[in-house]
């Protein structure tokens, strides 16, 4: 198979972990006889500094022409600490999702047996936790009508029926392929937009009789994720709630550096780690590349290359078992490995197995 991948390293630790994702992709393609080409493009603060736009038209073109996008992270303190900034790195991420029509963010949450002790929760609570958060990406407050004044500001949480139907369809289909349990998360006791979500979900549920569908207010869901994470199989929710819950879910595994994600829709799919740009660690060779590498596994699986994806996952598991880990997840007294060393070890494992 011929693959064309757009690579958007972005800011902070982005270029460091991106390089490991590219090397792992190359190793897989060599192993399975695929022909792969990469085209790098600007985004985030790096793009603002160079061309004044966090998601330039040239980057959009490169993404459109690719089979998939391997994205890393955006964000820079000089924008975070300036509330008057008119252009921000994160606007590039929102623009990419909107322009590529990526309305569904798929975030798996899982635990790794050798890392249960890293979770802030008790082992007996998180052991065996394995669920997917599906977050709507292009609607809600992040894209609704806004106003910001010195004495008043508002963000409009607007959703239409077609927007809700298409994300719920994705969620029902994922539940069908897993343990057939879907939880719709909303705030229907307070918000009109949430009542639309629940109404549409209730109308669609009979078309999926093999899926058990339940409904949960977002505050209860946040609490349940900590008390009983194994309850969930597939969770679906709107943009703002999803942003918060998926970050909460990442803590279950013990490190945000462990979890990948996919953003899918009508255009080129994007695969990325869920963590941010961590600018304080830039250039120190300590960033955990596993979420980026597991994003590569999701990329292959999305393209129907399931064996390739499984090999990437086996390689990651093997690196954890061999204690080839970055400092954030390393066992006490074990050798220290940097970002590049972990990536190289995994790529070598793939070539040898």
59 torsion bin: left (phi>0), alpha (psi -120 to 50), beta (else): alpha
Q: Given 49, 130, 247, 317, which residue is catalytic?
A: 247
In the numeric block, the tokens 């955006």 are attached to 74
Q: For 22-64, write each residue's pLDDT tens digit.
A: 999 999 999 999 999 999 999 999 999 999 999 999 999 999 9
- Catalytic: 317? no
Please state, in angstroms and rounded to a whole number, the distance separating the CA atoms of residues 93 and 90: 5
Please state, in angstroms and rounded to a whole number, the distance separating the CA atoms of residues 73 and 96: 13
Q: Where are the alpha helices (DSSP H) in the chain?
A: 14-32, 44-51, 57-64, 77-80, 89-99, 123-126, 161-177, 192-204, 218-227, 239-253, 290-302, 306-321, 339-352
Q: Given 82, 214, 219, 348, which residue is catalytic?
A: 219
192 and 330 in a single domain? The answer is no
114 and 31 in a single domain? The answer is no
Res 253: pLDDT: 87
pLDDT band of residue 79 (cuts 50, 70, 90) is confident
- Catalytic: 187? yes
Q: For 311-323, write each residue's pLDDT tens digit.
A: 999 999 999 999 9
Q: Given 11, 46, 53, 187, which residue is catalytic?
A: 187
According to DSSP, the residues that pair with 146 across neighbouring strands are: 155
66 and 141 in a single domain? The answer is no
CA count, 13 A, side-chain hemisphere, 314: 13
Q: For 221-273, write each residue's pLDDT tens digit.
A: 999 999 999 999 999 999 999 999 988 888 898 877 889 999 999 999 999 99
Of 242, 260, 278, at which residue does a domain stop? 260
Q: Given 53, 76, 142, 233, which residue is catalytic?
A: 142
254 and 286 in a single domain? The answer is no
183 and 296 in a single domain? The answer is no
- Catalytic: 82? no
168 and 250 in a single domain? The answer is yes
14 and 140 in a single domain? The answer is no
- Catalytic: 11? no
The arithmetic mean of pLDDT across residues 172-183, rounded, is 97
Domain limits for position 195? 105-260
Tell me how many domains the chain contains: 2
Kindly state the tokens that stand for 161: 């029926």
Q: Given 49, 80, 130, 243, which residue is catalytic?
A: 243
- Catalytic: 2? no
Res 118: pLDDT: 85
153 and 185 in a single domain? The answer is yes
E strand map for the chain: 2-10, 35-40, 68-73, 102-110, 130-136, 146-148, 153-155, 181-186, 212-217, 234-237, 260-265, 270-273
> Nearest to residue 68, comparing CAs of 344, 277, 298?
298
Q: For 259-277, write each residue's pLDDT tens digit.
A: 999 999 999 999 999 888 9
Of 238, 260, 282, at which residue does a domain stop? 260
- Residue 172: is its pLDDT beyond 80? yes
Whole-prediction pTM value?
0.90
């Amino acid at each position: 198979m011929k693959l064309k991948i757009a690579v958007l390293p972005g800011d902070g630790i982005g270029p460091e972990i991106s390089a490991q994702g590219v090397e792992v992709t190359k190793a897989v393609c060599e192993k399975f006889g695929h022909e792969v080409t990469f085209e790098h493009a600007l985004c985030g603060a790096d793009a603002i500094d160079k061309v004044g736009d966090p998601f330039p038209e040239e980057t959009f073109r490169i993404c459109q022409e690719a089979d998939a996008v391997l994205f890393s992270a955006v964000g820079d303190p000089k924008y975070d600490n300036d509330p008057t900034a008119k252009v921000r790195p994160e606007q590039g991420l929102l623009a990419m999702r909107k322009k590529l029509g990526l309305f569904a963010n798929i975030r798996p949450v899982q635990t790794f047996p050798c890392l249960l002790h890293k979770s802030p929760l008790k082992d007996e609570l998180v052991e065996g936790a394995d669920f997917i958060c599906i977050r709507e990406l292009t609607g809600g407050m992040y894209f609704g009508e806004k106003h910001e004044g010195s004495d008043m500001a508002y963000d409009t949480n607007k959703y239409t029926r077609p927007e809700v139907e298409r994300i719920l369809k994705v969620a029902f289909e994922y539940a069908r392929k897993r343990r057939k349990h879907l939880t719709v998360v909303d705030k229907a006791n307070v918000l009109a937009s949430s009542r639309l979500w629940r109404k549409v979900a209730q109308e669609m549920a009979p078309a999926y009789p093999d899926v058990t569908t339940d409904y949960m207010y977002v505050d209860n869901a946040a609490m349940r994720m900590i008390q009983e994470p194994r309850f969930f199989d597939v969770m679906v929710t709107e943009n703002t709630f999803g942003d918060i819950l998926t970050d909460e879910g990442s803590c279950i595994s013990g490190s945000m550096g462990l979890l990948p994600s996919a953003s899918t829709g009508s255009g080129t799919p994007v695969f990325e780690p869920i963590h941010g740009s961590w600018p304080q660690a830039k250039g120190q060779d300590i960033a955990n590349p596993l979420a980026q590498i597991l994003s590569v596994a999701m990329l292959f699986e999305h393209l129907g290359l399931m064996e390739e994806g499984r090999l990437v996952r086996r390689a990651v598991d093997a690196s954890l078992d061999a204690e080839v880990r970055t400092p954030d997840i390393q066992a006490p007294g074990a050798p220290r490995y940097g970002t590049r060393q972990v990536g190289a070890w995994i790529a070598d494992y793939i070539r040898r197995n």
